[in-house]
A and B are shown apart, each in its own frame.
Chain A
């Protein structure tokens, strides 16, 4: 680990180093390679694990992998059935993907903050941010996709006119159309923004605290990072769960005709 460099830059330099992405390109076309790399790898792990379970799926006695996959499937299916009363081929798989992907993103937070960037540093990679959900791009990518689905299903279920009517005439009736429209637009746009920022904020703060703990003398670190890591197990699961549940809720709202 480049401890000397950190020492030279001080604590601020160490923090900034940890929170800077490995990226190429300029302006908008900048690509955060670390976010893309880790999210693809984690997505591949998710897909690989479930594909293995799905290939061996049997209605007889399930194996260990299938058992665990089924546990998640039943859990997600229960959440979807509780909230969403229509029929949809998409929502349950979407919810499963979100839950697992976000959980795996967040799980990266539990790696000691210096391990992966340290290894990468040895291989000559200067910056590495290992937790994709501390990158706004990753959280917004999901929430904007969900937002597109909300709009798509709103229009599909209610029809363009029905959706327009809902935007204009609710909740206060046709006499307050501009006000209704403003209110509805804010409400809709708040959905993806709150989804993305909630996840990002929680994980960014969590990662920041791990980094701060890592700045302390080594004999104090375990005392703080151990409880924080345990607490974080709750946080990362909870954040994945919240993202999933809110997605289901928003999509079922889009399906409901008033």
Chain B
């Protein structure tokens, strides 16, 4: 029961055990614990952030959706407006075109009338000339009296 040299042996064993624990056992285990703590904390923080981001994204989606709706309504109304415009424009164009066609037809008619008149005038002139020749005989030279003939034909036009 007495104290003896076993004490010294036990103290050496104890010192070795403590040294070994301090050097090789405590640090790696403790570090892994700390690291895991950090990982978990990070994970939780990330999850929380994710939740926040979901809420934000939802808000953003609502805003975007609303914008898109507004935008499409705008586009539809613009398109309607544009369609009306096109209809109006084509109406106008058609009117113009019609008027133009009428005008050109009129002009053609006028031209044709003119041509017919010119033809008739020529014929009347030559008829008158022939008649005059008949009347006056060879007295009247066509080249000499061109002026007079022109005047007459102008009066006829």
* A interface, CB within 8 angstroms of B: 23, 25, 27-32, 35-36, 39-40, 43, 46-47, 50-51, 53-55, 57-60, 62, 66, 69-70, 73-74, 77, 89-90, 92-94, 96-97, 101, 132, 135-138, 140-142, 144-145
Contact indicator B15/A145 (Cβ below 8 Å): yes
Q: A59-B39, A97-B18 are in contact. Are A54 and B10 (CB under 8 A)?
A: no
The secondary structure that dominates the A interface is helix
> Majority SS of interface residues in chain B?
helix
Q: How many A-B residue pairs have CB under 8 A?
A: 128
Interchain CB contact under 8 A, A47 and B21: yes
In the complex, what residues of A have CB within 8 A of residue B141's CB?
Answer: none
Interface size on B, residues (CB 8 A): 33
B23's nearest neighbour on chain A, judged by CB, is: A93
Contact with A along B12-55 (1 / 0, CB 8 A): 01111110111011101111110110110000000000000000
Complex: A135 Cα to B9 Cα, angstroms: 13
Residues A70 and B10 in contact, CB atoms below 8 Å apart: no
| Given known contacts A31-B5, A77-B30, A89 and B22 CB-to-CB distance under 8 angstroms | yes
CB distance from B4 to the nearest CB of A (A): 4
B4 touches A29 (CB 8 A): yes
**Smallest Cβ distance from A197 to chain B, in angstroms?**
12
- How distant is the Cα of A70 from the Cα of B37 in the complex, in angstroms? 12
Does chain A have a CB within 8 A of B76?
Answer: no
Question: Nearest Cβ in chain B — how far from A85, in angstroms?
Answer: 18
